[in-house]
C-alpha cells in the first residue's frame, strides 16, 4: 500500500488539490483525533474545508467527506450512520473512520454500501494515501475488527518525528527547554474558538459491564508529559486560552509512568504554560480520585475548580453489577471533600438508569444521592444493550417503556436540582471565558463559560452590557440571574492575557 510520501507525489501533479470535509461525531477524544487526521490530510496534499452547515448551499462542495464516527450508545451509532448517509447524498465520496468503523469494520461496510471506505484506527498514518485511492475509484479493504484488549495498547505517542523542514508544532522546529522535539504530529485545529481539547492518554483498563470502549480503544497508555506540554505550548500559540484534558480515564494517567503523583505534576506544569489561562481536567473515576488530586486542582492557579466525576449510579448493588465501586454515602463523602477544598467548584456527572436488575429501591438511592450532592450538571442516560459487554447477558432486563419513564423521572429531578445549584451562584463572582458572540438580528449576544462550566456538556453564562468584549476575552463578572442551569452575569473587567 502506498505511504504518505506517495500520496504527496501524486497530489503534486494535479492542478487543484482535492478538497476534504471532516465531520466529527461524539466526544472530545474524537475531536482530538479529527484534529490530528486533519493535520495528516493537510500534509498529504488535501485542502480542508470547514464543516458544512445544513442547508448552506453556497458552501464549496467537498470531493470527499470523512466522518469520524461514534459508537458509544445506540443513539450515537444511529447519528453516525445518518451522517454518513447525508454526506453520501451530497455526491461526494464518503469515508467512515472512528469508533463505529473500528468496532464493526466489515459488518458496517456491508450494511452501509453508501460509504466508499470503512477504515480503522490503524489506517490513520496512511489516511491521505487511502483517500487518494478512494478518489481514484479504488476501494480500500474495510477494516477487520479485533478485540484490542488482546493487543498492545494503541500508543498515543507512536507518531512520526518531525521531518526536515517541518516545524515541531509551535516551536519552529525546536522545542522549548525541557520539552521534547518529537515524536509529534502537527494538529490542524478545526474550531475557531479559544478552547481546545488535549489528549493525555488513550484506552482504558477498567471492565465496566455497560461499556464496550476498551474492546475497540484498547488498553490504557499515558502520553509522555513532555509531549503534552509541547502540544500545550503549540495550542497557546494558536490563540487557545483553555485546554480541556481528555482521555477515557484521566485518573489513571501516569500509572504506567515513573513518579508518585504524575497527574498532579502534569497539572502544575500545564498551569505554567504562558498563554493558557485555564486548564480543565475531565473524566475522573471516583474510586481513583485521591485527596492529593483534589488539593492540586483546588490549589493550583489556572487549573479550573471543576470535577467531572463518573458516578454512573449511586446504588451499591447496581454499581457492583456494573463492576464499579461506590455507594450513596461514599459518593456524598467525595462531594463533601471536593467542596471542603473548593467551595465554588463545579461538579458534574453522568448516570445510567434502567440497568438490568435496577429496583425501585436502587432508583430511590440514586435520587437520595442526587438530592444530597447538588451537582451542577448531570447527563441522564437510559440503559441500552451493547453487544460484547458484560451487561448484555445479565438477567432481569427492564422494559424499554419503563426505562424511558425512569429517565424522565431522574431528568426532571436533575433539572430542578441543577437550576437550584445555579441560583446558589447569584451574587458570586466568576471568571467567564467568552467563546460565542452573535451580532445578528440587530443585537449582540455574548456567551461564555465560568470555571464550573465545561464546553458543550454543561451550562453557559450570558454576559450583559457586553459592548467591546471580544471572542477569547477572559472576563471577571458578577452573577445576577439564572435561566435554568445557565447563568446571566454582568462583567466588571477584562482580565489580562498571558502571552505565549
- Cell 461514599 maps to which residue? 330
Residues 433 and 375 in one domain: no
27 CB burial (10 A radius; 0-12, 13-18, 19+): buried
**pTM greater than the 0.85 cutoff:** yes
Sheet holding 346-353, edge to edge: 306-308, 346-353, 377-382
Q: How far apart are the first and last CA of the chain?
A: 41
Grid coordinates of 452: 464550573
DSSP string, 265-318: HHHHHHHTSTT--EEEE--B-GGG--HHHHHHHHHSTTB--EEEB--B---HHH
* Pairing mode of beta strands 429-438, 445-449: antiparallel
Interhelix angle for 225-237 vs 262-271, to 10°? 20
Question: Does 480 share its domain with 345?
Answer: no
Q: Which among 459, 369, 363 has a CA at the least distance from the CA of 409?
A: 363
Residue at which a domain ends, from 119, 145, 171 = 145
Q: Are residues 414 and 436 in the same domain?
A: no
Pairing outcome for strands 201-202 and 195-199: unpaired
pLDDT of res. 237: 92
What total number of domains does the chain contain?
A: 3
Query: Which of 421, 441, 466 is at the close of a domain?
Result: 421
Helix, strand, coil share of the chain (percent; to 5): 35, 20, 45
Question: In the 3-class helix/strand/coil scheme, how is 107-126 assigned residue by residue?
Answer: HHHHHCCCCCEECCHHHHHH
Residue 6: predicted pLDDT: 43
Contacts 24+ apart (CB under 8 A), 108-117: 108/142, 109/142, 109/143, 110/142, 112/81, 112/84, 112/85, 114/84, 114/85, 114/88, 115/84, 115/88, 116/64, 117/142
- Domain assignment of residue 168, yes or no: no
Distances (CA, A) of 41 to 8, 56, 73, 184, 304: 10, 24, 29, 15, 34
**70, 105, 223, 353, 388 from 208: Cα distances, Å:** 18, 23, 23, 15, 12
Whether residues 298 and 209 share a domain: the answer is yes
Q: Which domain holds residue 130?
A: 4-145
Q: Strand 64-69 vs strand 19-24: parallel, antiparallel, or unpaired?
A: parallel
The reply to whether 114 and 245 lie within a common domain is no
Cell readout for 354 is 434502567
DSSP code at position 137: T
Q: What is the pLDDT of residues 325-366, one digit of tens each?
A: 999 999 999 999 999 999 999 999 999 999 999 999 999 999
Specify the pLDDT at position 52.
45
Do residues 368 and 279 share a domain? yes
- Give the HSE-up count for residue 25: Cα atoms under 13 Å, Cβ half-sphere: 24
- Considering the domain architecture, whether residues 417 and 454 belong to the same structural domain is answered as no
Total residues belonging to the chain: 500
> Quick check: is 53 in a domain?
yes
Low-confidence spans in the chain with pLDDT less than 70: 1-15, 50-59, 152-185, 500
Number of helical (H) and strand (E) elements in the chain, helices listed first? 14, 18
Q: Cα(236)–Cα(170) distance, rounded to whole angstroms? A: 8
Q: pLDDT digits over 182-235, tens only?
A: 445 578 888 889 999 999 999 999 999 999 999 999 899 999 999 999 999 999
Distance of CA 420 to the CA centre of its chain: 27
- Secondary structure (DSSP) of 293-308: HHHHHHHSTTB--EEE
Same domain, 342 and 202: yes
* CA–CA gap between residue 461 and residue 469 (Å, rounded): 14
- Same domain flag for 295 and 394: yes
Domain boundary among 396, 421, 446: 421
Distance CA 267, CA 305 (A): 12
- The CATH number for 453's domain is 2.40.50.140
Give me the residues paired with residue 422 across strands: none
pLDDT for residue 460: 97
Collapsing DSSP to helix, strand or coil, 85 comes out as helix
Q: Is residue 157 one of the residues assigned to a domain?
A: no
User: CA-CA distance, 107 to 24, in Å (whole number)?
Assistant: 21
pLDDT computed for residue 183 by the predictor: 41
Phi/psi of residue 113, each to 5°? -65, -15
- 256: CATH: 3.80.30.20
Which residue's C-alpha cell is 475497540? 216
Amino acid at each position: 500500500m502506498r505511504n504518505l510520501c506517495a500520496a504527496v507525489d501524486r497530489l503534486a501533479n494535479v492542478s487543484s488539490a482535492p478538497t476534504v470535509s471532516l465531520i466529527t461525531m461524539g466526544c472530545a477524544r474524537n475531536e482530538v483525533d479529527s484534529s490530528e487526521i486533519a493535520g495528516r490530510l493537510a500534509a498529504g496534499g488535501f485542502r480542508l474545508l470547514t464543516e458544512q452547515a445544513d442547508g448552506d448551499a453556497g458552501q464549496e462542495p467537498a470531493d470527499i467527506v470523512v466522518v469520524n464516527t461514534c459508537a458509544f450508545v445506540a443513539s450515537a451509532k444511529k447519528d453516525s450512520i445518518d451522517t454518513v448517509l447525508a454526506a453520501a447524498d451530497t455526491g461526494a465520496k464518503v469515508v467512515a473512520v472512528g469508533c463505529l468503523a473500528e468496532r464493526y469494520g466489515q459488518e458496517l461496510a456491508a450494511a452501509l454500501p453508501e460509504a466508499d471506505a470503512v477504515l480503522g484506527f490503524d489506517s490513520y498514518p496512511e489516511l491521505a494515501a487511502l483517500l487518494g485511492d478512494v478518489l481514484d475509484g479504488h476501494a480500500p479493504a474495510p477494516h477487520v475488527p479485533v478485540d484490542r484488549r488482546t493487543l498492545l495498547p494503541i500508543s498515543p505517542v507512536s507518531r512520526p518525528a518531525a521531518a526536515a523542514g517541518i516545524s515541531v508544532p509551535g516551536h519552529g522546529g525546536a522545542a522549548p527547554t525541557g520539552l521534547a522535539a518529537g515524536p509529534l504530529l502537527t494538529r490542524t485545529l478545526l474550531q475557531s474558538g479559544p478552547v481546545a481539547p488535549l489528549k493525555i492518554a488513550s484506552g482504558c483498563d477498567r471492565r465496566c459491564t455497560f461499556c464496550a470502549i476498551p474492546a475497540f480503544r484498547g488498553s490504557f497508555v499515558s502520553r509522555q508529559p513532555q509531549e503534552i506540554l509541547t502540544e500545550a505550548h503549540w495550542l497557546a500559540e494558536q490563540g487557545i486560552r483553555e485546554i480541556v484534558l481528555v482521555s477515557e480515564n484521566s485518573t489513571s494517567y501516569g500509572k504506567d509512568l515513573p513518579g508518585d503523583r504524575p497527574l498532579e505534576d502534569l497539572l502544575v506544569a500545564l498551569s505554567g504554560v504562558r498563554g493558557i489561562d485555564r486548564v480543565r481536567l475531565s473524566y475522573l473515576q471516583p474510586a481513583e480520585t485521591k485527596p492529593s488530586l483534589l488539593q492540586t486542582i483546588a490549589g493550583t492557579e489556572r487549573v479550573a475548580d471543576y470535577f467531572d466525576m463518573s458516578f454512573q449510579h449511586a446504588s451499591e448493588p447496581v454499581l457492583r453489577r456494573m463492576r464499579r465501586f461506590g455507594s450513596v454515602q461514599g459518593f456524598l463523602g467525595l462531594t463533601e471533600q471536593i467542596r471542603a477544598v473548593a467551595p465554588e467548584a463545579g461538579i458534574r456527572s453522568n448516570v445510567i438508569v434502567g440497568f438490568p436488575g435496577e429496583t425501585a429501591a436502587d432508583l430511590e438511592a440514586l435520587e437520595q444521592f442526587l438530592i444530597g450532592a447538588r451537582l451542577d450538571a448531570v447527563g441522564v442516560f437510559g440503559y441500552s444493550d451493547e453487544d460484547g459487554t458484560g451487561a448484555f447477558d445479565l438477567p432481569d432486563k427492564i422494559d424499554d417503556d419503563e426505562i424511558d419513564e425512569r429517565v424522565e423521572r431522574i431528568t426532571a429531578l436533575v433539572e430542578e436540582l441543577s437550576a437550584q445549584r445555579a441560583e446558589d451562584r447569584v451574587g458570586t463572582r466568576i471568571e467567564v471565558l467568552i467563546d460565542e458572540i452573535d451580532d445578528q438580528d440587530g443585537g449582540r449576544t455574548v456567551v461564555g463559560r465560568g470555571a464550573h462550566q465545561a464546553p458543550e456538556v454543561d451550562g453557559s453564562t450570558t454576559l450583559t452590557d457586553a459592548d467591546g468584549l471580544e471572542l477569547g476575552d477572559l472576563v471577571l463578572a458578577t452573577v445576577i440571574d439564572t435561566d435554568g442551569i445557565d447563568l446571566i452575569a454582568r462583567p466588571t473587567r477584562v482580565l489580562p492575557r498571558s502571552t505565549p
